[in-house]
Amino acid sequence: MLSIRRIFSRNLIARTMTPTLSYGTAVYSKVSSSGLPDMPPCDFQPTPYKGPSYNEAQEIRTNNSALNIMTYYKKPVLINQGHMQWLFDDEGRRYLDLFAGIVTVSVGHCHPKVNAALKEQVDLLWHTTNIYMHPRVHEYAVKLTERLPDPLKVCFFVNSGSEANDLALFMARSYTQANDVIGLRSAYHGMISSLVGFTAMGNWMFDVPKNSGILNTINADPFRGPWGGSNCRDSPVQTIRSCDCKAGQCFAKDMYVDQVNDLLKHCTPKKIAAFIAESVQGVAGGIQFPKGFLKEAFSLARAKGGLCIADEVQTGFGRMGSHFWGFETHDVVPDIVVMAKGMGNGFPLAAVVTTPEVAKTMHQALHFNTFGGNPMSCAVGSAVLDVLDEDGSQANAADVGTYMLLELAKLRDKFEVVGDVRGKGLMIGVEFVTDKASRKPLPAEEINHIWESTKDLGVLVGKGGLHGNVLRIKPPMCITREDVDFAIAVFQRALEHHQNAYS
pLDDT in tens, 275-286: 999 999 999 999
Amino acid 66 reads: A
pLDDT digits (tens, 9 = 90+) for 287-333: 999 999 999 999 999 999 999 999 999 999 999 999 999 999 999 99
pLDDT digits (tens, 9 = 90+) for 453-500: 999 999 999 999 999 999 999 999 999 999 999 999 999 999 999 999
Angle in degrees, 0-180, between the axes of helices 112-122 and 375-390, rounded to the nearest 10: 160
Angle in degrees, 0-180, between the axes of helices 375-390 and 393-414, rounded to the nearest 10: 70
Amino acid 121 reads: Q
Mean pLDDT of 392-410: 98
CA distance 336 to 311: 9
Fold for 4-98+433-502, please state it: Aspartate Aminotransferase, domain 1 (3.90.1150)
Name which of 254, 222, 226, 224 is nearest 238 in CA terms: 222
Phi, psi at residue 464, to the nearest 5°?
-160, -160
Return the pLDDT at 61: 87
Residue intervals of the chain classified under CATH 3.90.1150.10 are 4-98+433-502
CA distance 378 to 385: 11
Residue intervals of the chain classified under CATH 3.40.640.10 are 112-122+135-389
Return the pLDDT at 2: 34
For 112-122+135-389, CATH gives 3.40.640.10
Check: CB of residue 290 under 8 Å from CB of residue 232: yes
CA distance 47 to 487: 25
Question: Mean of the per-residue pLDDT values for the chain?
Answer: 91
pLDDT over 60 (residue 172): yes
CA distance 476 to 95: 13
Does residue 315 or residue 230 have the better pLDDT?
315
pLDDT over 60 (residue 451): yes
Q: What is the pTM of this model?
A: 0.91
Mean pLDDT of 118-126: 96
Return the pLDDT at 9: 35
Mean pLDDT of 109-120: 98
Stretch among 129-133, 225-229, 414-418, 477-481 having the lowest mean pLDDT: 129-133
pLDDT digits (tens, 9 = 90+) for 43-71: 999 999 999 999 999 999 888 887 767 78
CA distance 84 to 106: 9
